[in-house]
Structure 1
């Protein structure tokens, strides 16, 4: 038997495509996940618990809003953010989701569209993990079509200093019940606008959605906005219309293209290790042709998925990444990752349905990842429109 390599899924020497700093950051995040997340994740998942105590540590490691610059953010490249996302999701999708909601959604909204005062107040605390943010866009009847949202913000008085009153409901809002600040998107008389809402504001009510079969080591909530009164300066001045939230969703979707492959790689490694040790009919499972075919097929898709993610990252760092290309990454890598995790579970047999092994946990989580930030159907239609020039959303 050949000697075991450090990254058995890497058939193409992918590390040779990465720079020294990129490799160093990836390895630091990988070691953090191995030391702090992997020993605990089965228990957290079973107990439906997200460990809030790790949030300051994520901040100390520069992983919160890491692609942003200034206000305490690390200013890392898109590729470095992607590498970190892959390692975090190898631990659990809930961990990468936290970093995504905090950094790619809430912090990006404030950094790109907020006022100087909003940036100064919130970004340093969010980057340090001293505060938690959430991003309230989707609603019970407005998921894939956010333009149909019913949440409304009306002016509270007259004149330029008039405040706002928000009313409506949001659903599947990550971290809302533990957040200190929410970026809430609402219809107004002038189109969709974003609002920075401290969650202690009267009328902001968040309830965790339970029980769940997926993303158990994570927090998703229903949010009720019951006549939430805000000052005039709560509005994000730089965002009018759906382009504001969509620009944030693009950041999150990009990270998912990397993260899903991290989950797939972890499931593959569990299955590979098990197949080498599990004896059936007198020899290891890894010695049978059908098992090797499964392993090879998984490894091929993992390599292709990481090559795709890396290409997107290089394009993003060069300022050339287009939205439809992000859809390629999100659609392909989520779709392939969930199949890899399911196939990895088959190698584990009955033992694969326990939390002693990661593939089925990852597969369950990826059911959510595949749905949020654009379903397969939405990204298919985005790409269909790119290919044909005709929109088929309605």
Structure 2
């Protein structure tokens, strides 16, 4: 019995849905990480994505106008998105960013798509979701890639100009993460359509969690097709199939809503019982019966790599902006709260992770802009960028504390805080993505020989044994090289190379290469020892995926720092925090992986090959935390670059915070002068800052012009630190009334 035949008996079979998922998408720079040799030159050679003239005009025109139309607080308190907003979105073709121009679409780049969605998300999660869904996995993308000419010519122009609003229904009460197990079924039969008897499908379905379903006019639907009467051939089960059904089609039920965390985008259910549809409703026609799962997984890139990561970045940038501005303006014990080390620890984490998120957003969309569909990279982006967004938001909530939990128009965090679990849940829940998809797909797609080996193991061809033996020899050679590379870079630091021209980057690039060299033999040994059981060992698989993911993030940060940052000196602490945190996480994942590997002998070999004999990993120093937190409160180009997705509109919470922040920077030298004077000769009683300032002006300590500037700052400060207030019956009280009450009191502002 050959080795291949023996393995065939031992290894579990790969289902059709698993095989199609593994085959979907392309391989990109992540393969070099997996193979132990990060391709830094390829990373640096990727063309920089920039907004085209049309894309910039769209940002400056329709997007800016849309932001001025949105009152997210009112939206959250209402029941519906205002019709004027929906009409504006349709009229200005927000739903057509991925649709080609020849069909009336905008045909924007992935980078522009991400930038637009993120900019809207920083203002309103509900409107961002409404915009992103038609531009993600759904009828538009499926039609572009798989629709017949007739379907494209009819539907795409209507989707582009908003005449039709699409939704796509996959999830059912019985099939969530296991989407391949959907019970929704269609029977091949004949029925009447437009007065004629035609061949078609009689479909029954029960779907939930379907975004835009309550307002959709066209329903994309996934179901399994069965042919009991063998009208199409001798097979009974024909597989998952995708179709488009107009809402007006008899039997289609749409309209009921869910309430996702109080975020007012439209999300709901759709049902149908024995609904007859002609074969023309199938996307791509009858020939695409059974190709639905392949179609879906091959089109996941937009949602996983663009839209949902964009929401994570928007959350982080909004939280970063609001928190550093508040921490600079808000004072306790005579100091800005951003000067206290407990706050600084959180604030540095916010700043460093926001830098990392923007770097990953840019790199991922640049890759998608090349035309590749890297399934592993988009899974990394979806999981880690939404999780990092949650980390940043939680730290921001901790810092802003009481101000953060009081809902109202001035609160810049509450909306994003409520919406975050939504991005984490959809398009493959994050637990599923981390534990099954990143390394599960990564091993099969990034290993140079593994996929061929698995295909040959399950092959019935007569030449399979000979071909398998050839591939096996190559695999052994590959693994031996990986082992020696890991040994060399683990024990001999001078073998760790770097191609960067920047000294501050070289040390980190060497660490990226060293950690990647460790990953390769760990993956090889895991596959050799555990085989098919590795996919069940989710905790181990997730940790190997973490190593890949954090190295991808580190590479993104290197590229961003080298090619996008305007002032590297100002950005250095951000870059260092992002790199140290990413590499620390990768190192920790390796330690945890080895410690928990179930085979003792293999565990010892792993320690030897990777020079991992201790549980300790390099951490982030307190000095860097202090340096970055102070740097983040400066008003400079780096802060602007890391908050560019947050568009301030007059009078909103971000505008109020920003005005106070800039005003304080403008009078910082005068505040120092006032504090020095008050320490020398206190004003007693200290009724308020205004009162003390007037006394100092009377004494000639400050001039009238200086006093005017300080009073102006103080008014902006009071507005920034206030929280929204309501009457007993929860009617909003204007800020002018509450601030007036403070001025008339006897307490310090």
Structure 1 and Structure 2 fold alike (TM over 0.5): yes
Is the counterpart of residue 107 in structure 1 residue 167 in structure 2?
no
Is the counterpart of residue 236 in structure 1 residue 278 in structure 2?
no
Is the counterpart of residue 331 in structure 1 residue 383 in structure 2?
yes
Counterpart Cα distance in 1 of 2:84 and 2:56: 27
Counterpart Cα distance in 2 of 1:130 and 1:48: 23
Counterpart Cα distance in 2 of 1:323 and 1:372: 16
Query: Which residue is 1:177 aligned to?
Result: 214
Range with bigger deviation, 290-299 or 118-127: 290-299
Query: Which residue is 1:168 aligned to?
Result: 205
Task: Report the CA distance shift for 1:171/1:305 in structure 2 as closer, same or farther (over 3 A).
Answer: same
Query: Which residue is 1:340 aligned to?
Result: 392
CA-to-partner distance for each residue in 1:63-96, whole Å, 9 max, x for gaps? 3231231311111111111111211211222222
Between Structure 1 and Structure 2, the one with more strand by share is: 1
Matching of residues 1-394 of structure 1 within 5 Å: 18=50, 21=53, 25-28=58-61, 31-37=64-70, 40-69=71-100, 70-104=102-136, 105-157=138-190, 161-189=198-226, 190-214=238-262, 216-237=263-284, 239=288, 240-255=291-306, 256-356=308-408, 357-380=411-434, 381-385=436-440, 386-387=442-443, 388=523, 392=535
| TM-fit CA distance, 1:211 | 4.0
CA-to-partner distance for each residue in 1:156-213, whole Å, 9 max, x for gaps? 318x940222102001001111110011011003111111101122222124344442
CA-to-partner distance for each residue in 1:190-242, whole Å, 9 max, x for gaps? 1111111011222221243444425x221111211122222221111275130
Aligned to 1:139, the other structure's residue is in SS state coil
> What is the RMSD computed on CA atoms of the aligned residues?
2.5
Aligned to 1:187, the other structure's residue is in SS state strand
Q: 1:155 touches 1:165 (CA, 8 Å); kept in 2?
A: yes
Aligned to 1:374, the other structure's residue is in SS state coil
CA-to-partner distance for each residue in 1:120-169, whole Å, 9 max, x for gaps? 222112211222110001111211111100111112318x9402221020
Counterpart Cα distance in 2 of 1:59 and 1:209: 21
CA-to-partner distance for each residue in 1:3-23, whole Å, 9 max, x for gaps? xxxxxxxxxxxxx97456465
CA-to-partner distance for each residue in 1:275-329, whole Å, 9 max, x for gaps? 2333322333234333333222112111111111211111111123410110110
Task: Report the CA distance shift for 1:30/1:248 in structure 2 as closer, same or farther (over 3 A).
Answer: same
Counterpart Cα distance in 1 of 2:260 and 2:108: 34
| TM-fit CA distance, 1:244 | 1.2
Q: 1:166 touches 1:225 (CA, 8 Å); kept in 2?
A: yes
Query: Which residue is 2:633 aligned to?
Result: none
CA-to-partner distance for each residue in 1:97-140, whole Å, 9 max, x for gaps? 21222122221122222222222222112211222110001111
Aligned to 1:319, the other structure's residue is in SS state coil
Counterpart Cα distance in 2 of 1:72 and 1:56: 17
Task: Report the CA distance shift for 1:297/1:42 in structure 2 as closer, same or farther (over 3 A).
Answer: same
Task: Report the CA distance shift for 1:90/1:33 in structure 2 as closer, same or farther (over 3 A).
Answer: farther
Q: 2:49 touches 2:111 (CA, 8 Å); kept in 1?
A: no
Between Structure 1 and Structure 2, the one with more helix by share is: 2
Task: Report the CA distance shift for 1:130/1:272 in structure 2 as closer, same or farther (over 3 A).
Answer: farther
Q: 2:256 touches 2:269 (CA, 8 Å); kept in 1?
A: yes
Aligned to 2:401, the other structure's residue is in SS state helix
TM-score of the superposition, structure 1-length normalised?
0.87
Range with bigger deviation, 293-302 or 146-155: 293-302
Counterpart Cα distance in 2 of 1:267 and 1:51: 26
Aligned to 1:177, the other structure's residue is in SS state helix
Task: Report the CA distance shift for 1:55/1:106 in structure 2 as closer, same or farther (over 3 A).
Answer: farther
Aligned to 2:300, the other structure's residue is in SS state helix
Q: Which structure is larger by alpha-carbon Rg, 1 or 2?
A: 2
Number of aligned pairs?
376
| TM-fit CA distance, 1:342 | 1.6
| TM-fit CA distance, 1:247 | 2.8
